[in-house]
Amino acid sequence: MITISLCMIVKNEEKILARCLDTVADLVDEIVIVDTGSADRTKEIAAGYTDRIFDFEWVDDFSAARNFAFSKASMDYIYSADADEVLSEENRDRFRLLKETLLPEIEIVQMKYSNQLQFQTVYNFDEEYRPKLFKRKRDFVWEEPIHEMVRLEPVVFDSDIVITHLPENSHAKRDLETFYRHCAGGYRPPKRLHNMYARELMMAGDEEDFARAADFFRSSAADPERDGEEIAEACCVAARAARLDKDVVGFFKYASKVIAEEACSEICCELAAFYEDAGDTEEAAVWYYNAVFETSPILDLQSGKNRGLEGLIRCYERLGCREQADAYRAKLRELQTEPKE
């Protein structure tokens, strides 16, 4: 049977740390807690579960903190968890079975991360696989009977374990602040993080967040090294930032760049909001309709669902078309009762 080190980075988690540890402490062989500057009882609570508690000076880098935590692990595998995660009894049983039966050639175990849509997160789906259990020391293996080579890709196993995500509040403001600081300092995020920055802004950013991010995304929209998807993402953010700033020329500059390639639900909602703010309700309704029925979202799933339908309802109520508004209201109810993705 394998042995497991639980590694966590924490800060001010006194309200939820015990809830997390109570569901996993007896399943692992070692608990490593790395505290990045708590001012509450977090370390005191952690001490009730382990004496392997380390301080790490926060350097605005989650990877650095996690790498430090991993360096303190000593078991066969490392389970990476956050304080706002819990395992149900059913999934504790699955975890225990996995520990008893995991084949030693497996290097990464993915687990389903669930309950995303209940909170204002950067994700458009309720459940996804995430790598959560990692072999601490990798064995290099030669493959193929001729023209042999070392296996470079890790051996990954998708388990049936479901981790429930139960945050106390949205992390969006914290994440957007981190993105802003790094990008303002010259960091050029790779495609995956470019997408996540744009997505978190479109889903949870406020006017201040867009104002601060505007320069970066305007530059990104003109960056010849970015591909078409990244440019479309950047234009969506730049268009909303311009609309919020009452910059009409800038707004249409970035909105038209998206439409010239392939319109998306987000930019249709931005055009609808522009006309709605201008008092042109009929034109706003046209663009909300396009957001829901004629285009697809690239960042915020709700732009082609709830946000667009809510806009249609508002517009037809103002136009005095109660029957049409009721039809879209029924469609909205239908969407809200559909199974979560």
Q: What is the pLDDT along the chain (341 residues), one digit of tens a residue?
A: 999 999 999 999 999 999 999 999 999 999 999 999 999 999 999 999 999 999 999 998 999 999 999 999 999 999 999 999 999 999 999 999 999 999 999 999 999 998 654 545 554 456 889 999 999 998 888 888 887 899 889 999 999 999 998 887 767 888 999 999 999 999 999 999 999 999 999 999 999 999 999 999 999 999 999 999 999 999 999 999 999 999 999 999 999 999 999 999 999 999 999 999 999 999 999 999 999 999 999 999 999 999 999 999 999 999 999 999 999 999 999 987 765 54
Q: What angle do CA 23, 137, 27 make, to 5 degrees?
A: 15
Against a cut of 0.85, is the pTM above it? no
Strand extents, DSSP E, the chain? 4-10, 30-35, 53-55, 77-80, 85-86, 108-114, 127-135, 142-143, 149-150, 156-165
Please state, in angstroms and rounded to a whole number, the distance separating the CA atoms of residues 285 and 326: 14
| Residues of the chain by 3-state class (helix, strand, coil), percent to 5 | 50, 15, 35
Q: How many CA atoms lie within 13 A of 276 on its CB side?
A: 24
The count of structural domains within the chain is 2
| Cβ(85)–Cβ(12) below 8 Å | no
Given CA atoms 140, 144, 148, 152 in this order, what sign does their dihedral have?
A: negative
Residues 73 and 161 in one domain: yes
Domain membership flag for residue 341? no
Residues 151 and 210 in one domain: no
- Residue 53 pairs in a beta bridge with 33
Domain with residue 284: its CATH number is: 1.25.40.10
Domain membership flag for residue 64? yes
Please state, in angstroms and rounded to a whole number, the distance separating the CA atoms of residues 120 and 174: 13
Residues 222 and 112 in one domain: no
Residues 249 and 136 in one domain: no
In the listed set 107, 135, 165, which residue is the last one of a domain according to the structure? 165
Q: Which domain holds residue 35?
A: 4-165
Residues 28 and 134 in one domain: yes
